């Protein structure tokens, strides 16, 4: 049996090897380096939205069709965050998001290939455009993030996957609703609920989702304007309260068996060998939040990032607020949010309605300094709460990195004590 110190050395060694391997490695990693766009990157890219539809005016939403993709827009996401509790009281936070990123407007590639694909005479061009077009051709890609905050064990695990919209590797459809990337998916079931499945070697989720509220339209009837520049807007709705039940499986990642074996909480049942150790399944239930957004615009030239809050209060009300900021950290007047009262009615909030005070900071191992504790007050609602991360390190190891984590909420609503739980997303703090 390895001693703890040896284990650490072995792991460090493995990482060094991995780094060296990547350095001398191949062609495939050359291209891997620039293949992992995140939402911020898409928004900051400044790439042309020419040929894409733009979110410029209020539209009529129709469900369930609008749960499906809107391929005429450049980007789109399905953002699930939630809180799970096992029977023995163990708590987890989770994030499962799917991003659709169109790299070229529909029809663009066929036009181009007809004019430029071949040097020979037109006959070869025909054959390329015709029967021999590869099924791998795609004009959009999907990126998905998976994260679990294992509150009891004070662990945060995240994984990013990416795939092109081809050959069934990833995609989205509206009827029946389904969005997927590899084995990760959210799909409408016959009973009208959704089933979410995602995971990595450390955690796997298989959850049934039952929306408790109809979709809430954010901004001006679903049109969410992000800056003064025309088209820098999106269509944005949320489902702030979704009942969840299902299971979470703790797995063992290769090379990590030594540290995971032996930790065995009561109420877990072994469900077979996997990855060198026993996988443990837990029945869980809880509460989730869906954010849906699509558009073609970018952030404004001076907008550097945002802090996004999604707080679910114990009385059934919910607060969503995003605070945009410029490169100096100053708040942007286009920041906005929505208050959903106990009856499910939505009230739009603008920048001046909400006061946010950062109480503490946390610096990531890579040197990014994130706000880490907040006091939010909305005087017009009589709301005054603080949001405290359940774990300081909930930074996703994506490119670029961002922080998205489970927070505990406590404070007063109209003078009465209120508690709750929530998710906070902090984007634009870590460099590339």
Residue with tokens 């939402």: 39
Rounded to whole angstroms, the Cα distance separating 283 from 245 reads: 8
Q: What sections of 252-319 are H helices per DSSP?
A: 257-260
Between 28 and 60, name the residue whose CB sits nearer to another protein. Answer: 28
Hey, what are 431's tokens? 């460099």
> Interacting stretch for another protein, rule CB under 8 A, among 34-42, 59-67, 86-94, 376-384?
34-42
Residue 139 is a binding residue for another protein (CB under 8 A): yes
Report the site for another protein in 238-257 (rule: CB under 8 A).
253-257
Between 294 and 374, name the residue whose CB sits nearer to another protein. Answer: 294
Task: Find the binder of another protein among 36, 187, 388, 391 (CB under 8 A).
Answer: 36
Task: Find the binder of another protein among 2, 29, 212, 271 (CB under 8 A).
Answer: 29
Between 158 and 377, name the residue whose CB sits nearer to another protein. Answer: 158
Task: Find the binder of another protein among 57, 60, 116, 266 (CB under 8 A).
Answer: 116
Q: How far is the CB of 14 from another protein (least distance, A)?
A: 5
Between 18 and 314, name the residue whose CB sits nearer to another protein. Answer: 18
Between 165 and 421, name the residue whose CB sits nearer to another protein. Answer: 165
Q: How far is the CB of 388 from another protein (least distance, A)?
A: 22
HSE, side-chain direction, 13 A CA sphere, residue 123: 0
Answer for the pair 93, 151: CB distance below 8 angstroms, yes or no: yes
> Interacting stretch for another protein, rule CB under 8 A, among 43-51, 237-245, 336-344, 370-378?
43-51
Task: Find the binder of another protein among 76, 90, 157, 406 (CB under 8 A).
Answer: 157
Residue 9 is a binding residue for another protein (CB under 8 A): no
- For the chain, the first-to-last Cα distance in angstroms comes to 39
Residue 14 is a binding residue for another protein (CB under 8 A): yes
Sign of the alpha-carbon torsion through 338, 344, 175, 180: positive
Rounded to whole angstroms, the Cα distance separating 150 from 368 reads: 22
Report the site for another protein in 339-378 (rule: CB under 8 A).
365-366
Closest CA to 339 of 294, 306, 383: 383
Task: Find the binder of another protein among 53, 56, 200, 245 (CB under 8 A).
Answer: 200
Contacts of 383 (CB under 8 A, 6+ apart): 319, 339, 376, 377, 411, 412, 413, 414
Rounded to whole angstroms, the Cα distance separating 199 from 54 reads: 34
Size of the site for another protein (CB under 8 A): 88
What does residue 320 show for φ and ψ, rounded to 5 degrees?
-115, 130
Q: Is 37 helix (H, G, I), strand (E, B) or coil?
A: coil
């Amino acid at each position: 049996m390895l001693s703890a110190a040896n284990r650490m050395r072995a792991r460090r060694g493995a990482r060094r090897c991995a780094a060296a391997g990547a350095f001398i490695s191949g062609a495939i990693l050359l291209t891997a380096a620039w293949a992992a766009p995140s939402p911020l990157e898409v928004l900051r890219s400044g790439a042309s939205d020419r040929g894409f539809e733009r979110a410029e005016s209020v539209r009529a939403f129709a469900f369930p069709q609008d749960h499906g993709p809107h391929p005429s827009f450049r980007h789109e996401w399905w953002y699930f965050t939630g809180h799970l509790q096992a029977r023995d009281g163990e708590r987890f936070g989770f994030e499962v998001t799917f991003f659709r990123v169109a790299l070229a407007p529909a029809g663009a590639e066929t036009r181009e290939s007809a004019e430029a694909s071949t040097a020979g005479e037109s006959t070869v061009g025909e054959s390329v455009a015709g029967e021999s077009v590869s099924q791998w051709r795609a004009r959009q890609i999907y990126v998905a993030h998976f994260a679990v905050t294992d509150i009891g064990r004070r662990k945060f695990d995240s994984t990013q996957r990416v795939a092109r919209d081809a050959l069934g590797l990833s995609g989205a459809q509206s009827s029946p609703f389904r969005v997927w990337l590899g084995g990760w998916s959210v799909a409408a079931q016959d009973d009208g609920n959704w089933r979410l499945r995602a995971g990595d070697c450390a955690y796997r989720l298989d959850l049934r989702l039952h929306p408790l509220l109809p979709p809430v339209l954010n901004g001006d009837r679903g049109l969410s304007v992000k800056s003064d520049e025309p088209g820098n807007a999106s269509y944005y709705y949320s489902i702030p309260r979704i009942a969840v039940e299902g299971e979470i499986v703790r797995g063992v990642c290769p090379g990590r068996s030594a540290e995971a074996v032996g930790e065995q909480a009561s109420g877990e049942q072994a469900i077979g060998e996997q990855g060198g150790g026993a996988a443990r399944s837990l029945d869980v239930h809880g509460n989730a939040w869906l954010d849906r957004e699509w558009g073609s615009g970018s952030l404004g030239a001076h907008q550097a990032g945002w802090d996004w809050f999604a707080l679910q209060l114990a009385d059934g009300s919910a607060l969503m607020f995003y605070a945009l900021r410029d490169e100096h950290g100053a708040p942007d007047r286009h920041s906005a949010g929505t208050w959903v009262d106990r009856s499910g009615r939505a009230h739009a909030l603008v920048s001046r309605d909400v006061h946010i005070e950062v109480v503490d900071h946390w610096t990531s191992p890579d040197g990014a300094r994130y706000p880490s504790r907040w006091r939010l007050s909305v005087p017009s609602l009589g709301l005054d709460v603080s949001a405290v991360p359940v774990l300081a390190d909930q930074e996703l190891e994506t490119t670029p990195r961002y922080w998205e984590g489970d927070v505990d909420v406590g404070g007063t609503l109209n003078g009465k004590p209120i508690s709750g739980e929530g998710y906070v997303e902090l984007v634009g703090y870590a460099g590339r």
